[in-house]
Chains A and B, each alone.
Chain A
Amino acid sequence: MSRPPDITTLIPLKPVELELLLALAAEERHGYALVQEITAQTDGVVQLEPGNLYRVIKRLLADGLVQESTRRAIDDTDERRRYYRLTALGVRVLNAELSRIRSIMARASVRAFTRRLNPA
């Protein structure tokens, strides 16, 4: 890619996309590991089925946020599984999204705080 793409067109991320990028931020994973991780992290609220999982992966691949990995986990002998990892762009987008959310959270908590101090 000759020109770094504008990150602002890629955020805000959809909730599933965010979950997926978060799950990939720790380590590269294959499909089932992604599903397990996301289910665990969200206490079973987000349960991705194959069709929609790969639909999201396809979109993230197209946007260049993730890519297929050539590496394999050492204990995994199943050669056919494809692993995915974050790209540099993906890391940047994830960080941008997280700081966007953080700033919202900060504003929200400030407001809640002030509301509590000055009951209308």
Chain B
Amino acid sequence: MTNDRGVRWPERAYAALLWLYPAPFRRRFATDMRELFVDRCRAERLRSGRRGVARLWWRLMADAVTAAGHEHAADLRERFTSRVATLPNPPRPATGDPMFETMLHDLRYTGRMLRKSPAFTIIAMLVIALGSGAVTTIFSAASALLFRPLPGARDPGRLVDIARTDTDHSRSYITPSYPFYTHLRDESHQLHGVAAWTFIQLTVSTGAQGTTTFGNLVSANYFSVIGVRPALGRFFTPDEDRNPGAHPVVVLSDGFWRGRFNADPAIVGKQVLVNSAPYIVIGVAPPKFSGVFPIVRTDAWVPLTMAPLLQHDATALTDPGAGWLRIIGRLADGVTIPQARSELATIAVAHAAEEPADFREFRGIAISRITGFPADASGAIMAFALLLLVISGMVLVIASVNVAGMLLARATTRRREMALRIALGAGRARLIRQMLTESIVLFVGGAAGGLLIAVFATRLFARIQLPAEVPIRADVAPDYRVLAFALGLALITGVVFGLAPALEATRHDPSVGLRSESAGSGTRRTGLRNALVVGQLAISLLLLMSAGLFVRALNRGQQIPAGFEIAHVATAPIDVSTSGYLEPRARLFFDALKQRLLRAPGVAAVSYARWVPLTGSSMGTRFRIDGRAPAPGDRPDNMVDVSLGVVAPDYFAVMQMPLVRGRGFRDADNATAPMVAVVNEAFARKYWPGRDPIGQTFHDQQNQITVVGVARDAKYFTLNEALQPFVFLNLLQDWAPSANLFVRTTGDAATLAPIIRDAVRDADPLLPSPAVVTMAVATQVGLLPQRIAAAVTGVMGVLGLILAVVGLYGVVSFTVSQRTREIGVRMALGADRATVLRMVLRDGMRLVVIGIVVGLVLAVGATRVMSRFLYGVSPLDPYVFAVIPIGLAAATLIASYLPARRAASTDPLAALRE
């Protein structure tokens, strides 16, 4: 390795350039070539500084294009001739197939042409690189998230996600129970293995303070169904699916093993503490593998049979009413998804009698290919990715149109050359082929640049830390699929956008072309160039308007009244179950932590809840409302689906959520007291219209619950949800050992982080340090799609605008240069500068106006698609529809003003003399 830090970055860039060469050549010489490059780079810098290095790069690009072109051709020729030739390895490659010869000739000629006008070549490739970089980056991310579902798995195409739905296909899902899973596992023949798993937060320690880790509880066949082999040690054995609680073993992820155990090669067989109990490390997973949802980091895997101990729930593996698992399966050879679905549905029906009554209607089975996301979310994610892909595709179109415009302009200057070649006997097809070779080389070169952009951009993505509750690992770097995509795209765009200029350049009658003269030039070409500019302006207007709409949606989202006040609140997940607390001790701990925090400076109120509002996580249940006659369309058992939040006393004070009637929860409403609830206004209105809700009752499976208070309507799960009936239950009466702590301060919420961490450490030094975020940050997750979309469309829109403005500038200056004589005549006849200025500006702005009109029409049609991401902002938002076109017009005015000013300063004498 070279220690010269200044050279490392260029060396990587050069290494990327080397991908142009055929693989055998690369294998043989790449190291030496890089070495040579480093030496050359150093020498050039010493001799002539930056300019020398820039010159060197230019030479290297030309070198790479010609040498790689020759090598590829030689490679092909060798393969071709070795198949037909009887002589082994003639000393010099014989003149082979004429097609290759032509191609070689075209390439050689192209190399010469491109080298002859380096400015044109560099600008064209840069423009394409910007557009292609945009598409390639988005495609790379989309492909990594959507088409690379399970890195490290064998034949992931046959893996399916299995979910339970209700039979009327209203797409409500329930999570399967362990007994349900064992039925599928034992009775299915269409599936070659069925595995179950779930997320679990674990505290892993080796003595000192523990580390909060994100683990999976998995069935013993989990790894074999997915088809993953251990990097170290072993995975689980079938025996570890039996005898609940008898197998304290753990498999570590590669990342966790490296980060926490310094990649200790002797880790297998060592003991660690998982939730304070001794476990034996039996294996390490391969680096690529990160569970069924690869975007979520997984640190460790523990057998499902340990669930009763880890979750402090003795019936976890036996209760058919406890749904907590996710199921995946591998289709047996030749089995289709519908076949598997009908088999599994039969099994589900056969065991329906064992399940609680309210599971009965969930006899439907939904099977879908593994996507790397929960089955119910992947559709929305796919739609979003597609939207971003289309947006970035537009930038590529704008860039390509720009280059087509440049090629078209050059076609004019090359008319003589073409005419001469036609006169000398070249066929038109041959010339078109030559021109297409040139545009394809330009586009492929640009795509290589775009790929580099994508490599860097995706690396930036990976660094972004999302304020999410689960650790996100976004490995979206381009792979071979992205490479093929970029190359294919370059070939297609090279042909599509090279064809018009090629036809244009070769259209001429040789006798006319040879007679030269710049006059005439035909209105058709100008018409085509004008159309290209109009198209660019229209698309960039569309992009900018999309960006404008997303920004409006973001603003709207941030201004939606939540119905409570989060400005001075911070939150932290507290989970004592993973540290070996049983319920009585956990209750004491939660109370002690609250009292400790209340004594801290600035803390105004402290509470807990089982979810963090406005982050998208939701909870719901079924109640039977007492004293209410079933309305038409209700369920026969008179149960209603209700959204639910479980909160501790003082929650309404922490969130400053006003109670319009009755009271909030008190410490006295504990596990032994009668169950109480607070409902929102919408709930009271819907189920007890015209009656006092206080004192009304409803039932869940076991308990009668009495309403003691009514809270003002608010948003609960996301900011863009519709107003819904909502029930608050008391955490003290619906106990869970893991909850989210909420603390309100009189000062800045950001100052709470050390206060909360200190309080947790003082309360129990062995607990992992909690991750504290302000509510303002935590709720940003809800606006994430809008944030990403606004950023992406904003960047793309500005990029598109720059390209379109450059295109417009090119067209207007071109017309000005064509009309120099005419302008000279006008000025000689008495036209003053202002008249000429106005005339040229009018020409440019005519294109702009047409572009804006076309763009507006496009936008009216297209922005409708985005409405689901807009938080109620109208897709025809008048503000966006007024401001953006005016801004665009202003930017383009500058683009036509510059050439217009030049035209106005034409010296009539000089112009006429030309």
Tell me if B91 and A50 are in contact (CB < 8 A): no
**A116 within 8 Å of B (CB atoms):** no
**B766 within 8 Å of A (CB atoms):** no
**A4 within 8 Å of B (CB atoms):** no
Tell me if A51 and B66 are in contact (CB < 8 A): yes
- B residues 466-480 touching A (CB-CB < 8 Å): none
User: Given A9-B91, A10-B91, A32-B35, are A51 and B64 neighbors across the interface (CB < 8 Å)?
Assistant: yes
User: Given A54-B29, A58-B28, A82-B32, are A63 and B67 neighbors across the interface (CB < 8 Å)?
Assistant: no
Tell me if B35 and A55 are in contact (CB < 8 A): no
Tell me if B63 and A50 are in contact (CB < 8 A): yes
B32 / chain A contacts, CB cutoff of 8 Å: 30-31, 50, 54, 80-82
- B residues 62-115 touching A (CB-CB < 8 Å): 62-64, 66-68, 70-71, 89, 91-92
Which interface residue of A51, A58, A80, A81 has the most chain B CB atoms within 10 A? A51
User: Given A5-B91, A30-B32, A82-B32, are A52 and B66 neighbors across the interface (CB < 8 Å)?
Assistant: yes
- For A49, give the chain B residue with the smallest CB separation: B63
Tell me if A55 and B36 are in contact (CB < 8 A): no
Give the contacting residue for A32; candidates B36, B70, B91; CB below 8 A: B36
- A residues 46-68 touching B (CB-CB < 8 Å): 47, 49-55, 57-58, 62-63
Since A51-B63, A51-B67 are in contact, a sample of 16 more A-B pairs with Cβ atoms closer than 8 Å, ordered by chain A residue number, is A9-B92, A32-B35, A32-B39, A49-B59, A49-B60, A49-B62, A50-B63, A51-B33, A51-B66, A52-B63, A52-B66, A53-B36, A55-B71, A58-B28, A80-B32, A82-B32
Tell me if B33 and A54 are in contact (CB < 8 A): yes
Closest 5 CB pairs of A and B: A51-B67, A49-B63, A50-B33, A32-B39, A54-B29
Interface flags, A70-94, vs B, CB<8A=1, else 0: 0000000010111000000000000
**A23 within 8 Å of B (CB atoms):** no
- For A61, give the chain B residue with the smallest CB separation: B28
B92 / chain A contacts, CB cutoff of 8 Å: 9
9 contacts between A and B (CB under 8 A): A31-B32, A32-B36, A35-B36, A49-B59, A49-B60, A50-B33, A54-B67, A58-B25, A80-B31
Which interface residue of B21, B31, B36, B37 has the most chain A CB atoms within 10 A? B36
Main secondary structure of the interface of B (DSSP, over half): helix
- For B38, give the chain A residue with the smallest CB separation: A32
**B40 within 8 Å of A (CB atoms):** yes
- For B24, give the chain A residue with the smallest CB separation: A58
Tell me if B70 and A55 are in contact (CB < 8 A): yes
Tell me if A35 and B31 are in contact (CB < 8 A): no
Interface positions of B (Cβ within 8 A of A): 21, 25, 28-29, 31-33, 35-37, 39-40, 59-60, 62-64, 66-68, 70-71, 89, 91-92
State in angstroms the CA–CA spacing of A55 and B64 once bound together: 11
User: Given A31-B33, A80-B31, A82-B32, are A50 and B60 neighbors across the interface (CB < 8 Å)?
Assistant: yes
State in angstroms the CA–CA spacing of A33 and B905 once bound together: 56
Distance to closest chain B CB from A54 (angstroms)? 4
State in angstroms the CA–CA spacing of A90 and B553 once bound together: 73
Distance to closest chain B CB from A74 (angstroms)? 19
Which interface residue of A5, A50, A54 has the most chain B CB atoms within 10 A? A50
- For A64, give the chain B residue with the smallest CB separation: B91
State in angstroms the CA–CA spacing of A97 and B444 once bound together: 40
Distance to closest chain A CB from B94 (angstroms)? 11
Give the contacting residue for B40; candidates A35, A52, A82; CB below 8 A: A35
User: Given A35-B40, A50-B60, are A80 and B21 neighbors across the interface (CB < 8 Å)?
Assistant: no
B39 / chain A contacts, CB cutoff of 8 Å: 32
A35 / chain B contacts, CB cutoff of 8 Å: 36, 40
State in angstroms the CA–CA spacing of A5 and B67 once bound together: 28
Tell me if A47 and B67 are in contact (CB < 8 A): no
- For B2, give the chain A residue with the smallest CB separation: A78
- For A10, give the chain B residue with the smallest CB separation: B91
State in angstroms the CA–CA spacing of A82 and B30 once bound together: 11
- For B21, give the chain A residue with the smallest CB separation: A51
B67 / chain A contacts, CB cutoff of 8 Å: 49, 51-52, 54-55
State in angstroms the CA–CA spacing of A90 and B330 once bound together: 61
Distance to closest chain A CB from B14 (angstroms)? 8
Tell me if B36 and A31 are in contact (CB < 8 A): yes
B64 / chain A contacts, CB cutoff of 8 Å: 51
State in angstroms the CA–CA spacing of A32 and B71 once bound together: 21
A53 / chain B contacts, CB cutoff of 8 Å: 36
State in angstroms the CA–CA spacing of A32 and B32 once bound together: 9
B89 / chain A contacts, CB cutoff of 8 Å: 62
State in angstroms the CA–CA spacing of A78 and B39 once bound together: 12
- For B67, give the chain A residue with the smallest CB separation: A51
- For A62, give the chain B residue with the smallest CB separation: B89
State in angstroms the CA–CA spacing of A32 and B44 once bound together: 13
Tell me if B59 and A80 are in contact (CB < 8 A): no
Distance to closest chain A CB from B45 (angstroms)? 15
State in angstroms the CA–CA spacing of A50 and B32 once bound together: 9
Distance to closest chain B CB from A21 (angstroms)? 16
- For B90, give the chain A residue with the smallest CB separation: A9
A78 / chain B contacts, CB cutoff of 8 Å: 35
Distance to closest chain A CB from B23 (angstroms)? 14
Which interface residue of A5, A49, A52, A53 has the most chain B CB atoms within 10 A? A49
- For A47, give the chain B residue with the smallest CB separation: B59
A50 / chain B contacts, CB cutoff of 8 Å: 32-33, 36-37, 40, 60, 63
Distance to closest chain A CB from B22 (angstroms)? 11
A30 / chain B contacts, CB cutoff of 8 Å: 32, 35
Distance to closest chain A CB from B430 (angstroms)? 27
A81 / chain B contacts, CB cutoff of 8 Å: 32, 35
Tell me if A32 and B68 are in contact (CB < 8 A): no
Distance to closest chain A CB from B783 (angstroms)? 49
- A residues 8-55 touching B (CB-CB < 8 Å): 9-10, 30-32, 35, 47, 49-55
B70 / chain A contacts, CB cutoff of 8 Å: 55
Tell me if B40 and A32 are in contact (CB < 8 A): yes
State in angstroms the CA–CA spacing of A51 and B66 once bound together: 8
Distance to closest chain A CB from B276 (angstroms)? 52
Distance to closest chain A CB from B519 (angstroms)? 43
State in angstroms the CA–CA spacing of A55 and B21 once bound together: 10
User: Given A50-B60, A52-B66, A55-B70, are A31 and B35 neighbors across the interface (CB < 8 Å)?
Assistant: yes
Distance to closest chain B CB from A93 (angstroms)? 11
